[in-house]
Amino acid sequence: MEARIAQKPQLSFWQIFNMSFGFLGIQFGFALQTGNASRILQTFGADVEHLSWFWLAAPLTGMIVQPIIGHYSDRTWNRLGRRRPYFLTGAILSGLALFFMPNSGVLAAFIPPIIVGASMLMIMDASFNVAMEPFRALVADNLPDSQHSAGFSMQTVLIGVGAVIGSWLPYVFAEWLGIAKTAAPGHIPANVVYSFYIGGAVLIMAILWTVIRTKEYSPEEYAAFHPAEVHQPETKKGGIAQIFTDLAHMPTTMKQLGLVQFFSWFALFSMWVFTTPALAEHVYKVLPGDTTSVAYNDAGNWIGVLFGIYNLVSAIYACFLPAIAKATSRKMAHAFSLTMGGAGLISMYFISNPNWLILSMVGIGLAWGSILAMPYAILSSSIPAKKMGVYMGIFNFFITFPQIVNGVFGGPIVKYFYNGHAIYAIVMAGVFMLLSALSVLRVQDNKKLI
């Protein structure tokens, strides 16, 4: 007798909100990392051409961690649920790393602070990865396909809110509350340290909100929703070996999205690593090697504000993305957004007034809002629900690999081809973002939007 297929119920606005709220905390911490990690590492002695090498720790750990977490979260059902045990663990570890990274200097008597700082960056990113992909799989688990775009867009809105607060916090502490924005050589300013403390606390509390307020389907309910997949015979390979089997059999749409992701995440990595030294020199006229002057710290604080602006734009834009995608298509909406991001990155080269950089951030915000939503909405419609976690993890290869390539070659390119001028790395990022917009046009996305 053929198994009866039950339909997932439509979830309310508040159910989707509660399910996604943990992402606010994750992105709060991630914004502090992306906005301040290069600044912290330079304070501890890193040269600009070596920054990308220290940042390599992040994508390397992500490439290893996310597929494994996705694979095992597909096979986990316990008292906490299927995905929740993983992002709760990731939240606790991320919070601890946020606390320790700006305090790396206290261990200088035993270990060079640059090594401690880079290690904390690696641990922090690994922990973010443990938390992040099970969240994306949770949306696909709990929502019917007709609500996937809405679910990932809700995540993008909350990502934007968390990132705005996290990005602006050092500036608010320094300029509004008068907390010290400079420190002795080799030490992190107090406004940055306190921001990381608050970021760790917010991250843990936001994840706990989702853990407490969100229900996951039981194995029996899952079987009712996906009887064909549940009754498929299991392959003989298990454990980590199964990940490589799944990698070899990834859907065509996923492969095509891989090229899109390569170009866009290569661009994003350049932006996160090089924006602080690029704008400090190009706009604020800070001399190379200066990490203690008021001008350098003003640049660092303003870049935090700018990063908050692009995240604010992405949060607002995400509210309209489902309607835009429905009126055009998911891939056309994504192509337009990436084009705006490329234009925003390239425009930084032509700007000398820090305030005009806000316009650049608008374009970048459109791209970021779409990058966080559209590829996952397209992907989730093309992969089997039984393997949602592992394929979401494998999809992270297409995020981490371009960052690793950039991390290895980005620094030498800046040193030997751009003569140490990081602003040209930002222009290169804009070109890669435009290439991403072109490549998305060939992606197959035949899923009808409802």
CB count within 10 Å of CB 52 equals 26
Rounded Cα–Cα distance for residues 220 and 229 (Å): 13
The amino acid occupying position 239 is G
Residue 79, both tokens: 């008292």
Q: Distances in Å between the alpha carbon of 191 and those of 11, 36, 174, 179, 308?
A: 40, 11, 6, 6, 16
At 340, list the tokens.
């705006």
Q: What value, to the nearest 5°, has the Cα angle with vertex 31 and ends 29 and 36?
A: 100
Residue 194: how many CB atoms within 10 A of its CB? 17
Nearest to 158 by CA among 271, 36, 268, 319: 319
Distance of alpha carbon 333 from alpha carbon 103, whole angstroms:
42
Residues 441/331, Cβ–Cβ less than 8 Å: yes
Distance CA 145, CA 304 (A): 36
Provide the H-helix boundaries in 185-251: 190-213, 219-225, 227-230, 240-248
Rounded to an integer, what distance in angstroms lies between the CA atom of residue 93 and that of residue 91?
Answer: 6
SS3 44: coil
Reported pTM: 0.77
**How many other β-carbons are positioned within 10 Å of the β-carbon of residue 332?**
16
Can you state the angle between helices 294-327 and 252-282, rounded to 10 degrees?
Answer: 150
Over its length of 450 residues, how does the chain's per-residue pLDDT go in tens digits?
444 556 788 999 999 999 999 989 998 998 898 888 888 888 888 888 888 888 887 777 777 777 777 777 777 778 788 888 888 898 898 888 898 888 876 766 677 777 777 777 778 877 887 777 787 778 778 888 778 778 878 887 898 889 899 999 999 999 999 999 988 888 889 999 999 999 999 999 999 999 999 988 887 777 777 666 555 555 544 556 666 677 777 888 899 999 999 999 999 999 999 999 999 999 999 988 888 899 999 999 999 999 999 989 998 998 899 899 889 999 999 999 999 999 999 999 999 999 999 999 999 999 999 998 899 888 877 877 767 767 777 787 888 899 999 999 999 999 999 999 999 999 999 999 999 999 999 998 865 443
- Tracing tokens 């992002």 back to the chain, one arrives at 87
Length of the chain: 450
Coil, helix or strand for 78?
Answer: strand
Burial of 308 (0-12, 13-18, 19+ CB in 10 A): buried
> Rounded to 5 degrees, what are φ and ψ at 78?
-140, -165
SS3 425: helix
